Amino acid sequence: ATETVRAGRSNSVSSPPLQPPEYAQKIDVNPPKGTRDFPPEEMRLRNWLFHNFREVSELFGFEEVDYPVLESEALYIRKAGEEIRDQLYCFEDKGNRRVALRPELTPSLARLVIQKGKSVPLPIKWFAIGQCWRYERMTRGRRREHYQWNMDIIGVPDVTGEAELISSIVTFFKRIGITAKDVGFKISSRKVLQEVLSLYSVPETSFAKACIIIDKMGKIPMEEIKKELKLVDLSNDAIEDLLQVLSMKSLTELEEKLGGSGEAVRELKNLFSLAETFGYSEWIQFDASVVRGLAYYTGIVFEGFDREGKLRAICGGGRYDRLLSTFGGDDIPACGFGFGDAVIIELLKERQLLPEVPLEVENIVCSLDPDLQGAAATVATHLRGKGQRVDLVLENKPLKWVFKRAARINARRLILVGRSEWEKGMVSVKILSTGEQNEVNLDDLQ
Ligand SMILES: OCc1cccc(Br)n1
C-alpha cells in the first residue's frame, strides 16, 4: 500500500522526531472550567462508588433507567427563584430549540413516567446515576458538573415511600463504613410551613417561593431572608411565626404549636415510627429548618448531613406529589432523593474511609523471543478464555521492563513463552510474590 506521508512527519523510524507540523496548535489539555477528567485511579474510585449505588438500588428492587443529558429547557422553567434555575446550563441549538444540560434528574423521570403512561404499572421504583450540570460563575470556583444517584418511588402516597428511601441510603452508608456517628438525616415536612402560612392569608403562589427563600437560611443574613419573605407577600406576623416554628427541633414542640390533627405532625410521627421498624432511628432527627432548595417538594423533606458540620449536605430528597401534574400528567404521588458523587468522597477522606481500589491484572504474558509474539497471544487468549485478566506485552521488551510493568499492574503471575518450552507445548509460570517458577503445560494453565 502506498504510504501517505503527512506533511512535516517522516515515516522512517530512524530520523529524529521533527517539530510538530506548522498547522499544529498546542491545545489546552485541561478539561473545561468546573469539569473533571477521570484518569484510571479516579475512575476506579468512581466505579467503586457507583457499584455501591447500584448494589443498594438493586437490593431494594429498583430498576435502573437513564435519560439524555440534554433536555428541553422547558423542563426546568420554574418561577420560584431557585438557584438551579439561575444556573441553568441552557442554550439555543442549531434548530432554534431552547435546550439545557440537565441540572437534576427528577424532571426527566417525570417526563418518562408520563410518556410511559399506563404501560408502566405503579408503583414505579426507578434509580439512575447521571451527570448533572450547572453554569455557575467561576468566581466561587465550584464545579459545574457532578454525578447524582437518584432513587424514586412513583405511585405511593404514604410516608412508607420516604421511609423506604431513607432506609436505602442508610444501607448505602453502612456498606461503605459510614455510621450514625458520622452522618445523620434532618427530617421535616413542607406541610409544616404550609400549616403555619395557612394561619395567615398567604397566596398559594408564595408557598414555593417562601420555601426557596427559607432554604437560604444560614447561607445569607437573616435580615435578607426577612426582606425576601416580605417581597413574596408574607406579613411580619407570618414571618415571625414561621421563623419561630423553623427553629423547632422536637416533634412534641411542633405538635404543641400545630396540634396533633394536622397532616404535617401525623406524617412525621408515622415516619419516625417506621424508622423504628426499619431500625435506623439513631440516624434521623426532626429539624423544622430543613426545606430543601427545589420548588416542587410538597411534603416530607430530608437531607443527609455530616455530624462534624464541615461539609455541605451529602444527599437530599422528599415528596413531590404535584410535579407530574404540573407537566400535564396525571396527579400521581412521588418521592425521591439525589445523592451527589463529590461530598461523599470528601466525607470518606475526612474519615479515612477511602477504599483501596488498586489496578489488579492477575497475569502478565510475554514472549522471550520476537518470533514467539504469536505464541504469547495464544497463551493470553487461552487464559482470558478462562476469565483470567491478562496484560499481554505487545513489543519486544527487556525482562527488566517486564518486571517493572508487572509490579505496576500488581500482577500475581508472569507467564514467559520461551522457545524450548513452547516446542514442548509448555510455558514458564513465575509466581511474583515468591519467585517460585514452574514449567506448565498450556492445557493445564488455569
Ligand atoms: O447540586 C447542585 C448541582 C447541580 C448540577 C451540578 C452541580 Br456541580 N451541582
301-311: pLDDT as tens digits = 999 999 999 99
Centroid of ligand 1 to alpha carbon of 340 (angstroms)? 8
Q: What is the 3-state secondary structure (H, E, C) of 274-302?
A: HHHHHCCHHHEEECCCCCCCCCCCCCEEE
Quote the pTM value. Answer: 0.93
Mean pLDDT confidence for 59-83? 96
Residues contacting residue 72 through CB under 8 Å, at least 6 positions apart: 97, 98, 99, 100
Q: Residue 433: is its pLDDT beyond 70?
A: yes
In 320-419 the beta strands, taken as DSSP E runs, fall at 334-340, 363-367, 390-392, 413-417
Q: How far is CA 92 from the centre of its chain?
A: 27
Residues contacting residue 214 through CB under 8 Å, at least 6 positions apart: 193, 225, 229, 242, 246, 289, 291
Q: Whose CA is nearest to atom 8 of ligand 1?
A: 145
Helix, coil or strand: residue 75? helix
Q: Residue 138: is its pLDDT beyond 80?
A: no
Decide: 156 in ligand 1 pocket, CB within 6 A: no
The answer to whether the beta carbons of residues 335 and 152 sit under 8 Å apart is: yes
User: Which residue from 106, 129, 133 has its CB within 8 A of the most atoms of ligand 1, so it is best to mutate?
Assistant: 133
In this structure, which amino acid lies at residue 61? Answer: G
Can you give the pLDDT at residue 147? Answer: 98
* All cell numbers assigned to 150: 437518584
Please report, rounded to a whole number, the percentage of residues in the chain having pLDDT higher than 90. 88
Decide: 145 in ligand 1 pocket, CB within 6 A: yes
Can you give the pLDDT at residue 16? Answer: 73
Mean pLDDT confidence for 144-169? 98
- Phi/psi for 370 (5° steps) reads -55, -30
Q: How far is CA 443 from the centre of its chain?
A: 45
The answer to whether the beta carbons of residues 284 and 187 sit under 8 Å apart is: yes
Question: pLDDT tens for residues 345-365?
Answer: 999 999 999 999 999 999 999
Centroid of ligand 1 to alpha carbon of 140 (angstroms)? 13
Decide: 133 in ligand 1 pocket, CB within 6 A: yes
Centroid of ligand 1 to alpha carbon of 148 (angstroms)? 9
Q: Residue 9: is its pLDDT beyond 70?
A: no
Can you give the pLDDT at residue 24? Answer: 82
Question: pLDDT tens for residues 251-283?
Answer: 999 999 999 999 999 999 999 999 999 999 999
The CA angle 83-84-85, to the nearest 5 degrees, is: 90
Q: Which of 120-134, 193-207, 284-298, 372-386 is least confident?
A: 193-207
Can you give the pLDDT at residue 13? Answer: 52
What is the pLDDT confidence band of residue 4, given thresholds at 50, 70 and 90?
very low
Please report, rounded to a whole number, the percentage of residues in the chain having pLDDT higher than 70. 96
Which helix (H) or strand (E) is 439 found in, with range?
strand 437-441
In 93-144 the beta strands, taken as DSSP E runs, fall at 98-101, 124-133
443-to-374, 378, 386, 423 alpha-carbon distances in Å = 17, 12, 11, 14
Can you give the pLDDT at residue 3? Answer: 41
